[in-house]
């Protein structure tokens, strides 16, 4: 398996623009996580899904952020409109089953909002 695949790897956008980050989890994994990593705030859990259903989105910072998982093989994280303080590395991770196993991380998307 190719692992968790995120795209794009790098994104530079202007303030106010819409940004969509994409994630393909490992086939057969039931849980999917979106994290944001910054120097100031560390690694924050934004939202996670079990079996395509959002379970906890309490980490989503604002209504400008939204995430979807239309099927077991694809998820998106959208920021609209983007702001400079959204600049960070966004990681997607997937896990094969609930409560017993490790998470596998993608390589991340480095987002820069100017």
Partner 1 sequence: SQQGEEDPQALSIQEGENATMNCSYKTSINNLQWYRQNSGRGLVHLILIRSNEREKHSGRLRVTLDTSKKSSSLLITASRAADTASYFCATGAAGNKLTFGGGTRVLVKP
Q: How far is the CB of 83 from partner 1 (least distance, A)?
A: 21
74 binds partner 1 (CB under 8 A): no
User: Residues 6 or more apart from 41 whose CB is under 8 A from it?
Assistant: none
Residue 40 φ then ψ, to 5°? -75, -40
Tokens of 10: 């790098």
Each residue 45-64 as x (binds partner 1 by CB under 8 A) or -, in order, gives x--x-x----xx--x-----
Binding region for partner 1 (CB under 8 A): 4, 31, 33, 35, 42-45, 48, 50, 55-56, 59, 91, 93, 95, 98-108
């Amino acid at each position: 398996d190719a692992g968790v695949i995120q795209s794009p790897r790098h994104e530079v956008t202007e303030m106010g623009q819409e940004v969509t980050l994409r994630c393909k989890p490992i086939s057969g994994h039931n849980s999917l996580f979106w994290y944001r990593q910054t120097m100031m705030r560390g690694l924050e859990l934004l939202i996670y899904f079990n079996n395509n259903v959002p379970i906890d989105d309490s980490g989503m910072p604002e209504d400008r952020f939204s995430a979807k998982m239309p099927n077991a093989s694809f998820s998106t994280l959208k920021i609209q409109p983007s702001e400079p303080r959204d600049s960070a590395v966004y990681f997607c991770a997937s896990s094969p089953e609930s409560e017993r196993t490790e998470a596998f991380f993608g390589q991340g998307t480095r987002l820069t909002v100017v």
